[in-house]
Amino acid sequence: MIFSETEITELKNKIQKSNTITLVSHFNPDGDSIGAVSALSHYLISQNKTIKVIIPNEYPSFLEFVMKNVPHIIASKQSEEAKLAFTETDLIICLDFNSITRVGDMLKDSLLESEKIKVLIDHHLYPEKDNFDLIFSKINVSSTSELLYEVMFLLEGDNSFINKRISQSLYLGICTDTGSFSFSCNERRIYEVVGDLVDNGAEPEFVHQIVYNTYSEQRLRLLGFCLCERLRVFPKHGVAFIYLSKSDLRRFNYQIGDCEGIVNYCLSIEGIEFGALITERADRVRLSFRSKHNFDVNVFSKTYWNGAGHKKAAGGHSFEKLDTVIERFIKQIEDIELKKENEN
């Protein structure tokens, strides 16, 4: 048992005593966040609960297939209704984020100030223990969706909670947070969980096709542009990065989700251990980091870029100009190499 019987019993009691339960994903929701929200929605609906789902902003269109039957509020379009959900509920369950700030500037104060019981289910480092009443946190799992499977299994005592919608949603989360089983997937347990999901309706080929092989023409051209015109490689330092300006995104009619996975191409270059995607957005410059082997991008992101994440996948941001961010990032690359040389 990865959580104590006392913790599971407490969660079960809180769910049983609640008529209305509000689920919350993080800002810029990915497949794991959406998959977990969808799966838990279907589980709680089967428990005859009234569900409210709050998504801070729009999610990529390729994730829509698990949200079709999940009524939800996009806070960036319905901010007052979303904020009201934090008071007109009996229980709040936060999925796939470790800090209240991860729900975005629009919602963070309303969520923090809510006096309702808050439960966290998440797999990121350093959960904000003071801001949640009950925490289910493990970092040695592939995804929040895998962790949620374990929590629901413990709540029921077996896998009787699983149906096709739950299986498909959880599989989506696990698949996307492991890059289709290319990282964070070295533990035996993940395959036991996935096997159970497949036995109960998850369709790996369908999910892979939807997530990884259903691109618009413009998205594919954007990828080509990134690799041909915006890729910078520093072989001496083992680093590569791609950058995109606001005008670049406009040129290719950028849609939410079009940049998903692009940073991973940096790590496909021989000798590169640290990759980044630097993207200029309307309000800030966003940075996405990936690594392999021993370089800790979570520490790097927290140290330099107001960010957080995992050892091998993290993100950050800056309010500086794109050129300044790029210049500063290159200097950091050089400093990392200098530190290595000094250590030797």
Are 289 and 315 in contact by the 8 Å Cβ rule? The answer is: yes
Q: Residue 135's pLDDT is what? A: 98
- Answer yes or no: is pLDDT of 344 > 70: no
- Answer yes or no: is pLDDT of 24 > 60: yes
Task: Say what the pTM is.
Answer: 0.91
Q: Residue 337's pLDDT is what? A: 58
The domains located in the chain, with CATH, are 5-211 (3.90.1640.10), 217-343 (3.10.310.30)
Residue with tokens 């609640």: 18
Q: Residue 342's pLDDT is what? A: 44
Enter the tokens of residue 166: 């739950």
Are 148 and 95 in contact by the 8 Å Cβ rule? The answer is: yes
- State the Cα–Cα distance between residues 226 and 222, nearest whole angstrom: 6
Question: 59 Cβ partners below 8 Å, 6+ apart?
Answer: 25, 29, 30, 34, 67, 256, 257
Q: Residue 341's pLDDT is what? A: 44
- State the Cα–Cα distance between residues 325 and 30, nearest whole angstrom: 24
Q: What is the pLDDT of residues 146-194, one digit of tens each?
A: 999 999 999 999 999 999 999 999 999 999 999 999 888 999 999 999 9
- Determine the average pLDDT of the residues in 276-300: 94
Q: What percent of the chain lies above the pLDDT cut of 70?
A: 97
Residue with tokens 């299994």: 153
Q: What is the pLDDT of residues 86-138, one digit of tens each?
A: 999 999 999 999 999 999 999 999 999 999 999 999 999 899 999 999 999 99
Of 247, 69, 33, give the one whose Cα is nearest residue 143: 33
Indicate the average pLDDT of the chain: 94
DSSP annotation of 63: G
Confidence of residue 338 (pLDDT cuts 50, 70, 90): very low
Q: Residue 334's pLDDT is what? A: 84
Q: Residue 1's pLDDT is what? A: 65
